[in-house]
Chain A
Amino acid sequence: MKAFQQNVAKLEAADTQVLGVSMDSPFANFNFAQQNGISFPLLSDRDGTVVREYGLEKEYAPGGVKMLSARRATFLIDKSGKVVEEQVDNDAIDPSKVVEACERQKLKG
């Protein structure tokens, strides 16, 4: 999320709203945003409905205790609601490809 924050000005200039999504509570997300200076909304998918809908459910078992979470992924969705770029797992940490894709979208109008 910090990497997205560093690119938020570029993304906004390319007419793009950043939305973070995780299975944290809205209150945990608020604290996370405050501590890290995150200015875009961090949405709470507490029961994982949206995570499942996007096919990103992932089970972790730290210390053998099962815990459901989201798989790391970024989707760039254009104004018509269509997915135009996607990145998953470690590729989704660095948003530069998404920034480039937004800038291409901007050129297209």
Chain B
Amino acid sequence: MPRILMATLLTLAMLLAAGGAAARPPEDKPAPAPMKIKVGDLAPDFTLLDFDGKELKKVSLHDYRGKKNVALAFYVFAFTGG
């Protein structure tokens, strides 16, 4: 087998092996912090401000009680993607 082909195959094999290793979950990764609020708990009520471009409006969780489900999505910061 020509040397160059052999080298290419070897490199490929090494790349595949590295990829496989990367796909495995790291073993020393710390477990994520447990959640304070769990499924089945009553969601703590709150009142926060929303700005609609003209005025600041109060929005409370209890506004939706008995009317709608609420998908409450906490995000890290505006403009940071995700």
Residues of A within 8 A of B (CB): 1-4, 11, 14-24, 26-32, 34-35, 41-45, 49-51, 53-56, 58, 60, 69-86, 88-89, 92-93, 95, 98, 102, 105
Query: Considering only CB atoms and an 8 Å cut-off, how many residues of chain B contact the other chain?
Result: 42
Residues of B within 8 A of A (CB): 32-33, 35-46, 48-53, 56-57, 59, 61-62, 64-79, 82
> What residue of chain B has the Cβ atom nearest to residue A46's Cβ?
B49
A102, B32: Cα distance in complex, Å: 25
**Cross-chain contact of A22 among B42, B46, B67, B74 (Cβ < 8 A):** B74
Within 8 Å CB of A51, what residues of B? 74
Cross-chain contact B69 with A43 (CB below 8 angstroms): no
Cross-chain contact B64 with A20 (CB below 8 angstroms): no
Within 8 Å CB of B33, what residues of A? 71
> What residue of chain A has the Cβ atom nearest to residue B82's Cβ?
A93
**Cross-chain contact of A79 among B44, B50, B69 (Cβ < 8 A):** B69
Cross-chain contact B64 with A17 (CB below 8 angstroms): yes
Cross-chain contact A19 with B78 (CB below 8 angstroms): no
> What residue of chain B has the Cβ atom nearest to residue A42's Cβ?
B50
Within 8 Å CB of A41, what residues of B? 50, 57, 59
A53, B42: Cα distance in complex, Å: 12
Cross-chain contact A72 with B39 (CB below 8 angstroms): no
Within 8 Å CB of B67, what residues of A? 79
